Structure 1
Amino acid sequence: MSSLSLSDDVRDRVEAFISSRQQKRLCSSYHVARETVDLARRIVSQKRWSSACELLETLSTVGRWVSSAIPSETAAGNVMRRVRKIVRDEVAECSSDGKQQNPDDLHWMLTVQGAGGDLTVAYPTLRGAIIESIHELMEEIEISGHNIAMQALEHIHSNEVVMTCGHSRTVEAFLKEAARKRKFHVIVAESAPSYQGQRMAKSLAEAGVETTLITDSAVFAMMSRVNKVIIGTHTVMADGGLKALNGAHGLALAAHHHSVPVIVCAALFKLSPQFHSAYDEDTFNKVVSPHDVLPFAEGGVLSDVEIHNPVFDYVPPDLVTLFIFNTGGNAPSYVYRLLSELYHPDDQEL
C-alpha cells in the first residue's frame, strides 16, 4: 500500500475499517457494506486523480487490500465492485454528453454504451457524478432491509408454519412485518454450537409471534409440518448457491426431501460474482475455536482426533426455491442476469 498516494485520512480509515472487522466490532455484512461505501466515497472525493483509469486502479488496490485482510467477508469486495461499475457508467454518461442519445440509434448504442467511454480522458463533471451515484448506492444499502420486509405479506399467509434457523436481522424484520397482519407459527432451529436461534426465537416471541425453539436434530422430524423455510445468508454465490450459517445445508436438504420451498432473504450487496470451489475453501469458510463443540477438558481422553468448527455451510442452488432481494423476488437461475447488471465483466477479479 505504500505505492498508493492516498491521503492520511483515507489510509487511516482503511486500516481502522480492517481492524474493526478483525476485532468483530463490525459484526454484520450490512455494517461492512456501509463502511465500504463510505470508504469508497472518501477515496473518490479526497484522493487526487485526473482520470477514471487512475481512480479504478486505486479502488481495485484498496479492494484487494481489504479482501485479503478479511477474506471471509465478501460484502466489502462486492461493494467495491459496485463502485467500480458506477465509475464506468458515469464515464460512459460523460462521454455521451453532446452526442445523439436516441435509444433507437444503433450506432450510439454500439459506440458509446458498448465501449463504455474513454477511461483516460479527464471529464470535469465526473467526480461530482460519481459521488452522487455513490450516495444513491448508500441509500439503497440502508433501506435494503426495509424493502425486503415490505414483501413479507406476499410470501407468508395466515395459519402457515414457517421454519428458520440461526439469527438473521433481515429474516427477523421479514417475519415481524408479516406478523403485523398475519397470524402464523415460526419454528426456529437453535443452530448449535453458536445457538443464534435462541436469540431469534426470543426476539420473535417478544414481538408476539408464536414461536417454537427446537434442537437441530429435530429439524427433519418437524419438517413434515412446515409450509415453507425462510432463511438468511451471508453471501449469494454466482451460481445461486449460498454461503450460509452452519446448519443451513442440513435444513435445506430436509426441506428438499419433504418438497418444502426454501426462501432466502438477502440484500443485493450480498450477491457475489465468485463461485465456491474446493481449492479455495480456506477463504470461503471460517473455522473458529472447537471449544464449543468439544470442551478442552473433555478432549484429553481423545488422541489423534481433529475437531473442526466451521462457521458457514455451502448450500447448492438446486436446494433454493426463491431469492427475495430488495428489488424483488428472483429464482436462482436469474442470478446470472443480476450479476451482469451489477458488476462489470472486467471487475470479476479485483
Structure 2
Amino acid sequence: MSKGTNDLVDDLVAKLKRRQLVGSSTVAQATLKLLIVVISKNNWSKPNELLNLVKSVGQKLIEANPTELAVGNIVRRVLHVIREEYREAEAEKDANLNEFQPAPLTTSSSMYNLLGETGSASKDNVHYPSSLRSNIIQEIREIKDDLENIYDQIKNQASLHIHSNEIIMTIGRSKTVEEFLKMAASKRKFQVLVAESAPSYSGQEMALELSKAGIETTVIPDSAVFAVMSRVNKVILGTHAVLANGGLIAISGSHMMASAAKHHSIPVVVCTGLYKLSPLYPYDEDSFNVSMNPDSILGFEEGDLIEKVTVTNPYYDYVSPTLVDLFLTNQGGHPPSYLYRLIIENYDPNDQTFDLSTMAETLPKKQRA
C-alpha cells in the first residue's frame, strides 16, 4: 500500500479509536470514502491482491473500534462488489475464448476441455479488461450514493405506516426516525411520545426537533414507558446495528420499550438502512456494548457511596428479534425472518471474517493468482 493511502488509513484508525467518529452513518461514509481511495490509488492486477488489500485495511479499521459494526458491513459490501465484478470479467473472458476455440467433436475432446487439458495456455494469455478498476470504483460510488440518499428512501414510506390520530412512541434520538416522523407529519396529524433515554437525555433533543416541525410531542421519563404503553398505537425505533438473526443493537432503554410493547401487543417498527445489517450473530451480546462514564449516574461527590458499589453505564441494549415486527429499510419493509435473504444478497459468505491466511481458499481456482 502506498504511503499516502497508508497515512489516510492510520488517520481514520486514530479517529475510530478516540471515538472522534461515532454513529453508523458517519462511520460508514468515512469507511467507504477511504476504500475508494485505497482501490484507486494502489497498484493491483489480480483478484487476490485487491481482496487482500481491502481486507487488510478493513481489519485495521474494525480492530480500532469493534463496536462500530458499520465499518465491517461496508468493507464486506465492497468485497462483495469486487467478487461480482471479477466473476463478470471471468465470464466475459471465457466467452471471448470460446469464440476462437472449435466446438468439441467427440466425447473425449469434450472431457479434455472440462478437465482443462486444452486451451489452458490461451486462457493464461487473456488479461482482465482495463476497465475493471473503473467498473469496481463505479459500483462502490453507487453504494456511496445510496448512503447519502438513505433517509429519503426510508421516509418516503412514512405515509404507509403512520395514520391520522395515532400515538407513536420512540426513545432517544435517531436521525432516521426523526426524518421518518417529519415526513409523516406532512400528510398526517398524530402525537409522539418520546422516552428521554437517561442518562444521555437524547430523547429531549429528539422531542425538541419534532416539536419544531409542528408535531405534537411529549417527553416522558423512561420509568413511565410501561405505564403509558397501553395508549400507544405503534412503537418506532432507530438502531445502531441489526445482527444476522434480526436482533438489534440499539440505544439503552430500547429493550424495555420493546418488551412493554410486546406485553401490550403493540407493533414495533425499526427504521434502518441496510448498511447497518451485519452478518454477525450475537453469540455474546455484551461484546457489542459500550460502557460509558458512570459519573452521570453516580457522581464523584457521592464519595462514601462510590467505594461501596460498582456502577456500569451501558450505552446499548440487545433487542431480540422476537420483539420486532417489521424492519423498514431503504429497500422496503421486511419481517425479521427475511433478513437472511438480504445478507446473502449483500455479503459473500467468504467474508465473514478477515483472516488473510485463508484468503486463497475463498476464490475459484481460475481466479487465484
Whether these two folds match at TM > 0.5 is yes
In structure 2, how many angstroms separate the alpha carbons of the residues matched to 1:27 and 1:199?
17
Find 2:327's aligned residue among 307, 323, 326.
Answer: 323
The residue identity in structure 1 corresponding to 2:297 is: V
Measure the CA separation in 2 of the matches of 1:55 and 1:100.
24
Pick from 280, 296, 307: which aligns with 1:274? Answer: 280
Deviation, 1:30, is 0.7
Correspondent of 1:18 among 9, 13, 19:
13
Q: Superposed, which structure 2 residues align to 1:67-82 within 5 Å?
A: 67-82=62-77
| Superposition pairs of residues 230-249 of structure 1, within 5 angstroms | 230-249=236-255
Equivalent runs, 1:82-101 vs 2, <5 Å: 82-97=77-92
Please point out which of 285, 289, 304 is paired with 2:293.
Answer: 289
Residue in structure 2 matched with residue 59 of structure 1 by the alignment: 54
Distance across 1 between alignment mates of 2:296 and 2:3: 41
Structure 2 residue 314 is matched with structure 1 residue 310: yes
Identical columns (%): 47
Distance (Å, rounded) in 2 between the aligned partners of 1:139 and 1:40: 15
Cα 1:121–1:249 change in 2 (3 A) is farther
Structure 1 counterpart of 2:176: 170
Matches within 5 A, 1:108-123: 122-123=128-129
The amino acid of 2:346's aligned partner reads L
Distance 1:98 1:16 in 2: 39
Aligned residues: 327
Range with greater deviation from structure 2 (57-66 or 12-21): 12-21
The structure with the larger Rg is: 2
Q: Is the 8 A contact 2:249 2:316 kept in 1?
A: yes
Structure 2 match to 1:43:
38
Partner secondary structure for residue 219 of structure 2: strand
| Structure 1 contact 165–191 (Cα < 8 Å) conserved | yes
Aligned partners of 1:91 and 1:121: how far apart in 2?
A: 12
Alpha-carbon distance, 1:123 to partner? 4.2
Q: Distance in 1 between matches of 2:327 and 2:191?
A: 21
Normalised TM-score (structure 2): 0.85
How does the TM-score come out when normalised to structure 1? 0.90
SS in 2 for 1:346: helix
Bigger shift: residues 26-35 or 176-185: 26-35
Distance 1:73 1:121, change over 3 A: farther
The CA RMSD over aligned residues, in Å, is 1.8
Separation in structure 1 between the aligned mates of residue 281 and residue 27 of structure 2, nearest angstrom? 21
Deviation at 1:98, TM superposition (A): 5.8
Residue number in structure 2 paired with 1:126: 132
Superposition deviation, residue 12 in structure 1:
1.4
State the AA in 2 paired with 1:343.
Y
**C-alpha contact (below 8 Å) 1:238/1:274 kept by paired residues:** yes
Mapped to 2, the partners of 1:271 and 1:171 lie a distance apart of 17
Q: Which segments of structure 1 move beyond 4 Å, counting only runs of 4 or more? A: 98-101, 120-123
Secondary structure in 2 matching 1:96? helix
